Structure 1
Amino acid sequence: MPSELNQKLEYVSGHRENRQKLAHEVIANPFLFSELIQICFIIWNKNAPKACWILEFISYEKLEWLQPNLDFFCLNIRLLKDESAIRPMAKVCQLLVSSHFKNSSIALSEIHLQQITETCFDWLINDTKVASKCYSIRTLYQLGNHFDWVHPELKVILEKDYANHTAAYKAVGREILKKIK
């Protein structure tokens, strides 16, 4: 029998207000957060992408809630295949890495950093949509300040793929290539 949270996810639509409403409900009821994380990675659950949408919204306000779940999160992000799940998780990765390097409440281990790096490169080089690629590019740029091999690899990919992508990808690519050089 589906949980109450899973049932509420059934009624979540792509409308921002709709996603925000359930995110605020989870924030008001923190005991729901660990279940939400679990649902995000139940690949066969049709509500998994919706759970990822909610997790993204929560991450803007309560990113530190992910800290106890980082092992699970970082291990499983590479398993996501649904584009509707990848885009919000790519944003969450960007928020986590940015927060980590700002010495905030997020402490990523070397393994977490490696797992996020590998996943972002996978999203960048595979057939994912442009928003996921753009979040991955920005995340990889930050990770390149930690791992010396990332910037050269990122530069090669951006220069090779630049001409074949959308205006959004090109804009982010230009921005990051200027920073790398």
Structure 2
Amino acid sequence: MTSDEFYKELSYITAARNDRLQFSELVLNDMSLFPNLISISFMADDTASSKAAWVLEFVCHEYIYAIIPYLDFFTNNLNKIHLESSIRPIAKICIFIAERYTSKQPNPIKKSLESKHKEKIIETCFDWMINDHKVAAKVHAMETLFLLGKETPWVHPQLLDILQQDFHHQSAAFKSRAKHILNKMKKLKNL
């Protein structure tokens, strides 16, 4: 499938979970399509980027290691994503990366994620937290910040400040996840 054909096929995807799942299976079965998928996901001003990001999330959920050769590209372009429908799935991919990186089990993400990548993920997640974004992006960002903050000492105090400042002005979903993250930070501190 050419890049143009791939782009055209993306235009047929709807937000329906089944559509996203089917397209992600297409990519998972032919990983030569992955570079096109990640490239389109970061065409920040193109509405097709959101559809690509939806699929990218599903692909990364199944096989996060596909992103390793693209970590520089992914992290260097995180801050360019501005469409809300793209931010949520990209923020979710940040969680997948952070989960693997902070896992106790050895894995390729632990070996490949460099400090420059972590810094860009952390910076972008803080931007998502403090700027006017939908709750899903903020929830994913706070989870990523909690995970990466386990070994980056300044992250948890900053996250704590943001959660406490925003707590009373946010939705029930934000408050619920914030309480959960605050409890996890408290347990870490008590260890």
Matched, 1:145 2:146: no
Matched, 1:169 2:146: no
> How many Å separate the matches in 2 of 1:55 and 1:133?
19
Equivalence for 2:90: 89
Partner amino acid for 1:104? Answer: N
For 1:75-114, what aligned pairs fall within 5 Å after superposition? 75-102=76-103, 103-106=106-109, 107-114=112-119
Equivalence for 1:117: 122
- Which aligned runs of 4 or more in structure 1 are off by greater than 4 angstroms? none
Matched, 1:65 2:66: yes
Equivalence for 1:28: 29
The Cα shift of 1:2 comes to 6.7
Percent identity over paired residues: 38
Equivalence for 2:52: 51
Q: How many residues align?
A: 181
- Secondary structure, counterpart of 2:108 in structure 1: coil
Cα RMSD of the aligned pairs, angstroms, is 1.2
Partner amino acid for 1:163? Answer: H
- Secondary structure, counterpart of 2:125 in structure 1: helix
> How many Å separate the matches in 1 of 2:45 and 2:149?
34
TM-score of the aligned structures, taking structure 1 as reference length: 0.97
Unaligned runs of 5+ in 1: none
TM-score of the aligned structures, taking structure 2 as reference length: 0.92
Unaligned runs of 5+ in 2: 187-191
> How many Å separate the matches in 2 of 1:38 and 1:133?
24
Q: Could you list the per-position Cα deviations for residues 66-121 of structure 1 after superposition, in whole angstroms to 9, with x for gaps in the alignment?
A: 00000000000111000000000000000001111213221310000000000000
> How many Å separate the matches in 2 of 1:46 and 1:169?
27
Equivalence for 1:180: 185
Is contact 2:37-2:56 (8 Å) kept? Answer: yes
The Cα shift of 1:29 comes to 1.0
Q: Could you list the per-position Cα deviations for residues 15-60 of structure 1 after superposition, in whole angstroms to 9, with x for gaps in the alignment?
A: 0001101000011111000111111111232201100000000011
